[in-house]
Amino acid sequence: MLELRSVTAGYDRRAPVVREASLTLAPGQALGLLGPSGCGKSTLARVAALLHRPDAGTLLLDGTPVRRWRHRAPREQRTAFGVVFQQPRLAADPRLRLADLIAEPLRATGRRDQIPGRVTELAEATGLTPDLLTRRPHEVSDGQLQRACLARALVLRPRILVCDEMTAMLDASTTAALVAAVERYRRETGAALLAVGHDRTLLDRWCDRTLHWHEVARSRADAPT
Amino acid sequence: MTRPGPLLTVRGLSVRFLMPGGRRIAAVTDARFEVASGECLALIGESGCGKSVLASALLGLLPANTETAGSARLGDLDLLTAGERTLARTVRGRRIGLIPQSPAAHLTPLRTVRSQLEETLAELTGVRGRAALREAAERAAQRAAFPPDHLDRHPHQLSGGLAQRAATALALAGDPPLLLADEPTTGLDRPLVERTVDELRRHIEADRDRALLMITHDLAAAERIADRVAVMYAGRIVELADAAAFFGTPGPRHPYSRGLLDALPDRAFTPIPGLPPELGDLPAGCAFAPRCPRADTSCTELPPLAGSVACHHPVRPPVPAATPENARA
Ligand code: SF4
């Protein structure tokens, strides 16, 4: 269970991009968050995944208040989340082969012994063929790289998956394939999902419930039109 | 007077990238299509299928390590054999206006939209003099629905939608008969996608001598704007169809096109199994065979683009010229 209460966040305290946002993600729930680009929904997604410290407000993970963010957050809180971003090229270390990219969180948490098994499993689950696993990001397409980023997000078996515009750059078939992989994972594990995006048709089809940004946060007075 | 032929006629267009070590990437193979004045043709397909390479070939913007074959006639000019000088002086901006994928990257960052528009207008049209250019720039901005009070902004001060309109204003500046839009809606929100393609459509409808070739992986955008669609897979055009029939009934005929539409979230939302093949390592037969539910042994032979579909077992047989039913009607 993840609760955000009155979260205000941004990159400049005088001009927060998120104002007093509140939402609750129940265990196993798939919640869509719909809003135009630039509205602040990506920043809120980063706060929710413990990647960005808010300026104000409370975040409760299974009832426990979160006090630290990013690498300072306790490991068991941090690893509760799997995150996939819009642009796989910005989210993937260009030096790593796809297999190492997927295995990165296992290595970082000292679970090297699980690497071969988990990488094979997840490559299959996300539709990556073995020959792609030895390539580096510049040698694969955006769609293939995003499949690897999803595999990486699932590798520690997160309880909560945050997908921030995961499919915005992708074609219809790759979109359907990635969403199907997420849903298969959720069926197997009961994980919850926060899917942030701008495509209502997609979020309505994918999620149990879709909230519009203005139902979640206060609008900015100086919001661009 | 004879009726004018198509604005753009592409025949047997192939593009090969020659890679170090002698590897050849078959980016585009034997493309054949036409674009008529007053129409919008959407070239659709997954990323990496060769559609953007095809656009670059038409503009003469391919890297040095490429080989092209075939022809792409724009009026009396073959774009594939015309030299860089001809393309730069008479084609780009004047006969083909390019609406790029990331307008923010296409615009010069350090200069205002106004100064870029004025410069382009001075170069492409006869307009001279500060006052006249200023007025022409404002008219050009207006044509692309770019707000005149934003003309003195720099590209980074514009939203994605406004940057797209600025790029469209630049593409329209030389009044080119053919607009070529390369993934014009990438990264835009759905409402903005719709507004952008509606505006592009208006530029064709406002001037029936103009045509639009839009390259996109966004099927909803294609459905909204196109008169006809060309579907590309693994470097080949596998289906050419009337847009209404393709997106509506009776639907597409090529199994790949079917799969693409079935993947949409407002349809079956089922992906096509597997991944597209590598363009450097294409099979001899139909490149879609490993992913195709209708594949059989005949598919080890390359299906030609017969009529409007390149497939040995298209989803629906072609409508016969006269059946007892429609003969009676
Ligand atoms: S030629 Fe065969 S494999 Fe190719 S699309 Fe048609 S049925 Fe499928």
User: Does one domain contain both A103 and A76?
Assistant: no
DSSP codes of every residue in A85-151 = -S-HHHHS-TTS-HHHHHHHHHHHTT-GGGHHHHHHHHHHHTT--HHHHTS-GGGS-HHHHHHHHHH
Q: Give CA B266 to chain center in angstroms.
A: 24
Distance CA A123, CA B13 (A): 36
Confidence of residue B126 (pLDDT cuts 50, 70, 90): confident
pLDDT in tens, A23-34: 999 999 999 999
What interhelical angle do B160-172 and B113-124 show, nearest 10?
20
- Of B160, B189, B275, nearest to A129 by CB-CB distance is B275
At B297, is the secondary structure helix, strand, or coil?
helix
Taking the Cβ of residue A68 and every Cβ of chain B, the question of whether any pair is shorter than 8 Å is answered with no
Question: What pTM, to 2 d.p., does this model score?
Answer: 0.88
Full domain range(s) for residue A117: 92-155
Choose the weakest-confidence range: A24-28, A109-113, A132-136, B315-319.
B315-319
Residues 6+ apart with CB under 8 A from A39: A213, A223
The shortest C-alpha distance from B220 to chain A (Å) reads: 10
User: Does one domain contain both A43 and A104?
Assistant: no
For residue A225, being part of any structural domain is answered with: no
Q: Compute the average pLDDT of residues A22-45.
A: 93
For residue A184, being part of any structural domain is answered with: yes
User: Quick one: closest CA in B to A144, which residue?
Assistant: B275
Is the N-terminal amide bond of B250 cis, ω within 30° of 0? yes
Q: Compute the average pLDDT of residues A34-63.
A: 93
Q: Which of A155, A173, A196 delimits the end of a domain?
A: A155
Q: What is the ipTM of this complex?
A: 0.90
User: Does one domain contain both A182 and A215?
Assistant: yes
CB atoms within 10 A of CB B205: 11
Dmax (CA) for chain B in angstroms is 69
Superfamily of domain B8-95+177-322: P-loop containing nucleotide triphosphate hydrolases (3.40.50.300)
Taking the Cβ of residue A89 and every Cβ of chain B, the question of whether any pair is shorter than 8 Å is answered with no
Distance CA B164, CA B254 (A): 33
User: Quick one: closest CA in A to B162, which residue?
Assistant: A225
Determine the pLDDT at residue B302.
96
Determine the pLDDT at residue A173.
94
For residue A87, being part of any structural domain is answered with: no
- Of A129, A142, A179, nearest to B47 by CB-CB distance is A142
pLDDT in tens, A159-185: 999 999 999 888 999 999 999 999 999
Determine the pLDDT at residue B52.
87
Q: Which of A129, A155, A181 delimits the end of a domain?
A: A155
- At position B48, the amino acid (one-letter code) is G
Determine the pLDDT at residue B329.
38
Question: How far, in Å, from the CA of B309 to the mean position of ligand 1?
Answer: 10
Which residue owns the Cα nearest ligand 1 atom 1? Answer: B311
Of B88, B95, B150, which is closest to residue B117 (Cα–Cα)?
A: B150
Distance CA B183, CA B194 (A): 13
Of A64, A143, A185, which is closest to residue B274 (Cα–Cα)?
A: A143
User: Does one domain contain both A62 and A118?
Assistant: no
Determine the pLDDT at residue B105.
67
Q: Compute the average pLDDT of residues B291-297.
A: 96
Please, what is the Cα angle at A27 between A24 and A32, to 5 degrees?
A: 55
Taking the Cβ of residue B191 and every Cβ of chain A, the question of whether any pair is shorter than 8 Å is answered with yes
For residue A224, being part of any structural domain is answered with: no
- Of A38, A172, A180, nearest to B219 by CB-CB distance is A172
- Residue A196's CATH number: 3.40.50.300
Phi, psi of A2 (to 5 degrees): -125, 125
User: Quick one: closest CA in B to A126, which residue?
Assistant: B274
Q: Compute the average pLDDT of residues B69-76.
A: 95
Confidence of residue B48 (pLDDT cuts 50, 70, 90): confident
At B319, is the secondary structure helix, strand, or coil?
coil
Determine the pLDDT at residue A220.
65
Distance CA A116, CA A113 (A): 7
Choose the weakest-confidence range: A27-41, A87-101, A206-220, B2-16.
B2-16
Q: Parallel, antiparallel, or unpaired: how do β-strands A81-84 and A30-34 relate?
A: unpaired
Distance CA A203, CA A200 (A): 5
Structural contact between residues A136 and A143, judged by C-beta atoms closer than 8 angstroms: no
Determine the pLDDT at residue B321.
52
Confidence of residue B1 (pLDDT cuts 50, 70, 90): very low
- At position A204, the amino acid (one-letter code) is D
Q: Compute the average pLDDT of residues A55-71.
A: 95
At B205, is the secondary structure helix, strand, or coil?
helix
The shortest C-alpha distance from A142 to chain B (Å) reads: 8
Percent of chain B clearing pLDDT 70 (strictly above): 94
CA-to-CA separations, A136 to A84, A91, A132, A173, in angstroms, rounded: 18, 13, 8, 23
Q: Where in chain B are the domains?
A: 8-95+177-322, 99-175
CB atoms within 10 A of CB B311: 23
For residue A12, being part of any structural domain is answered with: yes
For residue A166, being part of any structural domain is answered with: yes
User: Does one domain contain both A13 and A63?
Assistant: yes
Q: Which of A107, A134, A155 delimits the end of a domain?
A: A155
Number of domains in chain A: 2
For residue A86, being part of any structural domain is answered with: no
Distance CA A181, CA A155 (A): 13
For residue A85, being part of any structural domain is answered with: no
User: Does one domain contain both A142 and A212?
Assistant: no
Taking the Cβ of residue A174 and every Cβ of chain B, the question of whether any pair is shorter than 8 Å is answered with yes
Q: Which residue has the tokens 């707000």?
A: B147
User: Does one domain contain both A136 and A148?
Assistant: yes
pLDDT in tens, B251-269: 999 999 999 999 999 999 9
Determine the pLDDT at residue A223.
43
pLDDT in tens, B178-214: 999 998 887 777 888 888 899 899 989 888 889 999 9
Containing A167, the helix (H) or strand (E) segment is none
User: Does one domain contain both A73 and A20?
Assistant: yes
